Chain A
């Protein structure tokens, strides 16, 4: 009798946990048609390994660089670990995590997030919380994820379960039951790939019509906190004999102040790092702000991204003597598939765009 009781309880607990797990899978946002950038972080794990270059950073990496172009033109294998408004500690922990999966020759970090000292300093906290989710929910469990969560929580998140709500995301998304769509059921276990090695393709064109102006700020000094993370990235790369490259993508907004540029310039010089501010090379890259941006200069579209990648690829090739994988049979068969799917995606999106117009 007693034994039967215990068995009964165990069964009930297991069934309960199974139901909760299913519900959690159902309730989590899928990011398949809307807010696709939310799906980026999780997509990496299938492609981990064998990349010579890893990009880390915010939208300025996942919208502006195309790994497919890097491969097509130079045979460079690369992946972008980017996410919406990725903050510098999130970048650091992603980098730390990436080294568990592979050791790239070059690590590229976009320095825009140096401007954000705390989650609060980003302004809109409602969005900030959502971006935390898009940055962190997709990560597999590791100490890196745990530490990244702890560093990222907004005050509101701390109040509502803090790290617990990342361990059990159902606590965060529990009330999504009233907003479920067929997409949630379709993608409950398996997601489609929304990116091409971390690049989120945009084909629309929305030219720059006016100059992006921002009010000068009081203090241009980057915070101690951010410098520490940048130092930590540098050390991490040194430890793995990986070259760290600092870049500033050529996005026109948010404004990249000269004062900021100077600080990074000096830091790079002092530490023997390559720093490229692509804003200074718009001519050489050949960016045409009438055709190469989908949102008036904040991000490049695919045509701009291809130009930028072509330009940056040459630098990478020359500076770091990266192997041309196009001659490697295993690699090339794998990458040919990627190239094809990239071209299909591009065609599909262009068709949709043209039909709309």
Chain B
């Protein structure tokens, strides 16, 4: 079931009705059943994977949690008689055991993920189809990267003593499979999401209304903008588009993926809101960022947080890193202080690249991001001086320049998504200088990309609406809050207008072509 399908809307509508009719104690059960209906609608063959992660997550979480509970009890009982060293020794022993359990859990799950993602690489896939692994070569199980990371975060948090394990297996099942976020996130933390999933929610008109508004907004972005511009993105990938054509591709792709991804997240979060569940935000107008670090705090936030909490921090504060840090500090001075952080960054970005896909271009993508983050960190003092010298920091126009620079840079990095052939990607980048080919902008080639002038008009209009809403959001806060203070007539008129525009102008369906309707059985 696609988010942007009638079946999904009908499903969600029916679900909302049931959700607020049943006794509140059962609300989470309804969500669980719905999640599995949703998941199964994608195909029975994927069930194995999510059940596997659920079961291993449950077992690992209970084992680790019960050891920690035992430890707490033991330490409390023997508070007086044990010396500090003995306590520490006991704790270390428990920790070791738990680490083993954790590692087994991680290896099992990431192993499955690696096999699934690995099989997407053509030669492996061909190899596998003729073996017992053939059933795996169906493609990636729906949402596996999202629900697995969420589950891993949960187990690690238990190991760290941040949260306690949930004892009810079915509640854990719901946490792993909660359907609004199953397909594309956000990746939620147990401490944030779970209490809301399992608590009782009374009907709240405002939350429902806010949720529905946000879903509509998501549909607008996805149907009117993303799905319409997709044709041009596909066409511009062709070899003949270099220089300006490539830059256009990068820009169009930015529009497409932003509208598509944030649109999907809007639907997910809006749906959660309608159920009375506040999910974590995944995007905060990232294209207004002025530097790359800020961009990554505003784009796909939940993934960035995950990578930071479970890879970057543990790596950079680990024992070996500390030793390395001390060593490099002694030998290399101030730069040495930062070396371990940079090493942790490289590993983190490598992992982030792999997360997006098991192919060289995603690794290049990760490394490019990392390179520019480190570069900007190293150049910070230089920039500071430069800014101070010319008094640039407070100038609005300079801020806009920084945003444009950021936008272009990120677009050019992001577009590597579409080029599994890394050398082709670099040659396209190079063509920006060697073969600018600016005439693509006016020589009519843009009208051969599968978009008519009208399509460009619609996309332009959609971007304008999106930009306006973003600017309001950036300057004045929640657009829906602002809207709720306006007269009801204006509010309803705007919402109805958005609905009708989405419905009529959205790029979906078979498409009307009068000539198909002319009867000619010749």
Residues of A within 8 A of B (CB): 5, 8, 12, 15-16, 19-20, 23, 27, 29, 31, 34-35, 37-38, 59, 84-85, 126-127, 129-131, 133-134, 156-157, 160-161, 164-165, 168, 170-179, 254, 295, 298
Taking CB as reference atom, which chain A residue is nearest B511?
Answer: A175
Residue in B205, B509, B513 whose CB lies within 8 Å of A5? B205
Contacting pair B503 A35 (CB below 8 A): no
Alpha-carbon distance between A12 and B496 when the two chains are bound, in angstroms? 8
A-B contacts besides A171-B509, A172-B510, A175-B511, 15 pairs, CB < 8 Å: A8-B492, A12-B488, A12-B496, A23-B500, A35-B514, A126-B513, A131-B519, A156-B510, A161-B5, A164-B6, A164-B7, A175-B504, A175-B509, A175-B512, A298-B522
Alpha-carbon distance between A168 and B496 when the two chains are bound, in angstroms? 17
Contacting pair B496 A161 (CB below 8 A): no
Decide if the interface of chain B is mainly helix, strand, loop or mixed: helix
Taking CB as reference atom, which chain A residue is nearest B502?
Answer: A174
Taking CB as reference atom, which chain B residue is nearest A63?
Answer: B519
Q: Inside 8 A of A31's CB, which chain B residues have their CB? A: 517
Contacting pair A179 B514 (CB below 8 A): yes
Residues of B143-177 contacting chain A, CB below 8 A = none
CB-defined interface of B197-220 with A at 8 Å, one 1/0 digit per residue? 000000001000000000000000
Residue in A12, A160, A171, A298 whose CB lies within 8 Å of B521? A298
CB-defined interface of B475-518 with A at 8 Å, one 1/0 digit per residue? 00000000000001000100110011001111011111110111
20 A–B contacts, CB within 8 A, in A order: A5-B205, A16-B492, A19-B500, A20-B503, A23-B500, A34-B514, A85-B519, A85-B521, A126-B516, A134-B519, A160-B508, A160-B509, A161-B5, A164-B10, A171-B6, A172-B512, A174-B503, A175-B512, A298-B521, A298-B522
Q: Inside 8 A of A23's CB, which chain B residues have their CB? A: 500, 504
Q: Inside 8 A of B509's CB, which chain A residues have their CB? A: 160-161, 165, 171-172, 174-175
Residues of B within 8 A of A (CB): 5-7, 10, 205, 454, 488, 492, 495-496, 499-500, 503-506, 508-514, 516-522
Q: Tell which of B205, B454, B499, B516 has the most Cβ of chain A within 10 Å.
A: B516
Q: Inside 8 A of B488's CB, which chain A residues have their CB? A: 8, 12
| A174 in contact with B514 given A12-B492, A16-B496, A19-B500 (CB within 8 Å) | no
**Chain A nearest Cβ from B277, distance in angstroms:** 22
Alpha-carbon distance between A35 and B513 when the two chains are bound, in angstroms? 12
| A174 in contact with B504 given A8-B488, A85-B521 (CB within 8 Å) | yes
Taking CB as reference atom, which chain B residue is nearest A251?
Answer: B521
Q: Inside 8 A of B520's CB, which chain A residues have their CB? A: 127
**Chain A nearest Cβ from B207, distance in angstroms:** 14
Alpha-carbon distance between A37 and B6 when the two chains are bound, in angstroms? 29
**Chain A nearest Cβ from B282, distance in angstroms:** 28
Contacting pair A130 B5 (CB below 8 A): no
Contacting pair B500 A130 (CB below 8 A): no
| A254 in contact with B454 given A20-B500, A161-B6, A175-B511 (CB within 8 Å) | no
Contacting pair A84 B519 (CB below 8 A): yes
Q: Inside 8 A of A27's CB, which chain B residues have their CB? A: 504
| A29 in contact with B517 given A170-B503, A175-B509, A298-B522 (CB within 8 Å) | yes
Contacting pair B517 A35 (CB below 8 A): yes
Q: Inside 8 A of B205's CB, which chain A residues have their CB? A: 5
Alpha-carbon distance between A260 and B499 when the two chains are bound, in angstroms? 52
**Chain B nearest Cβ from A349, distance in angstroms:** 18
**Chain A nearest Cβ from B72, distance in angstroms:** 49
Residue in B496, B504, B508, B516 whose CB lies within 8 Å of A129? B516
Q: Inside 8 A of A38's CB, which chain B residues have their CB? A: 517
Q: Which A-B residue pairs are the 7 nearest by beta carbons? A: A12-B492, A130-B516, A164-B6, A84-B519, A130-B517, A176-B512, A35-B517
Q: Inside 8 A of A129's CB, which chain B residues have their CB? A: 510, 516
**Chain A nearest Cβ from B274, distance in angstroms:** 15
Contacting pair A179 B512 (CB below 8 A): yes
**Chain B nearest Cβ from A206, distance in angstroms:** 12
Alpha-carbon distance between A7 and B305 when the two chains are bound, in angstroms? 44
Q: Inside 8 A of A19's CB, which chain B residues have their CB? A: 496, 500
**Chain A nearest Cβ from B445, distance in angstroms:** 23
Q: Inside 8 A of A16's CB, which chain B residues have their CB? A: 492, 496, 499
Q: Inside 8 A of B508's CB, which chain A residues have their CB? A: 160, 174
Taking CB as reference atom, which chain B residue is nearest A29?
Answer: B517
Taking CB as reference atom, which chain A residue is nearest B206?
Answer: A5
| A37 in contact with B500 given A12-B492, A157-B510, A164-B7 (CB within 8 Å) | no
Contacting pair A254 B510 (CB below 8 A): no
**Chain B nearest Cβ from A135, distance in angstroms:** 11
**Chain A nearest Cβ from B512, distance in angstroms:** 5
Taking CB as reference atom, which chain B residue is nearest A37?
Answer: B519
Contacting pair B6 A35 (CB below 8 A): no
Q: Inside 8 A of A170's CB, which chain B residues have their CB? A: 503
Q: Inside 8 A of B496's CB, which chain A residues have their CB? A: 12, 15-16, 19
**Chain A nearest Cβ from B97, distance in angstroms:** 52
Q: Inside 8 A of B517's CB, which chain A residues have their CB? A: 29, 31, 34-35, 38, 130, 133-134
Q: Inside 8 A of B504's CB, which chain A residues have their CB? A: 23, 27, 174-175, 177
Q: Inside 8 A of A156's CB, which chain B residues have their CB? A: 510
**Chain B nearest Cβ from A84, distance in angstroms:** 4
Q: Inside 8 A of A165's CB, which chain B residues have their CB? A: 6, 509
Residue in B6, B500, B518 whose CB lies within 8 Å of A34? B518
Taking CB as reference atom, which chain A residue is nearest B9?
Answer: A164
**Chain A nearest Cβ from B517, distance in angstroms:** 4
**Chain B nearest Cβ from A49, distance in angstroms:** 28
Taking CB as reference atom, which chain A residue is nearest B508?
Answer: A160
Contacting pair B518 A35 (CB below 8 A): yes
**Chain A nearest Cβ from B156, distance in angstroms:** 40
Taking CB as reference atom, which chain B residue is nearest A17?
Answer: B496
Q: Tell which of B10, B495, B508, B510 has the most Cβ of chain A within 10 Å.
A: B510
Q: Inside 8 A of A20's CB, which chain B residues have their CB? A: 500, 503
Taking CB as reference atom, which chain B residue is nearest A167?
Answer: B6
Q: Inside 8 A of A15's CB, which chain B residues have their CB? A: 492, 496
Alpha-carbon distance between A129 and B511 when the two chains are bound, in angstroms? 11
Alpha-carbon distance between A85 and B511 when the two chains are bound, in angstroms? 21
Alpha-carbon distance between A281 and B506 when the two chains are bound, in angstroms? 54
Contacting pair A178 B454 (CB below 8 A): yes
Taking CB as reference atom, which chain A residue is nearest B507?
Answer: A175
Q: Inside 8 A of B522's CB, which chain A residues have their CB? A: 295, 298
| A160 in contact with B510 given A8-B492, A16-B496, A16-B499 (CB within 8 Å) | yes
Alpha-carbon distance between A176 and B509 when the two chains are bound, in angstroms? 12
**Chain B nearest Cβ from A351, distance in angstroms:** 24
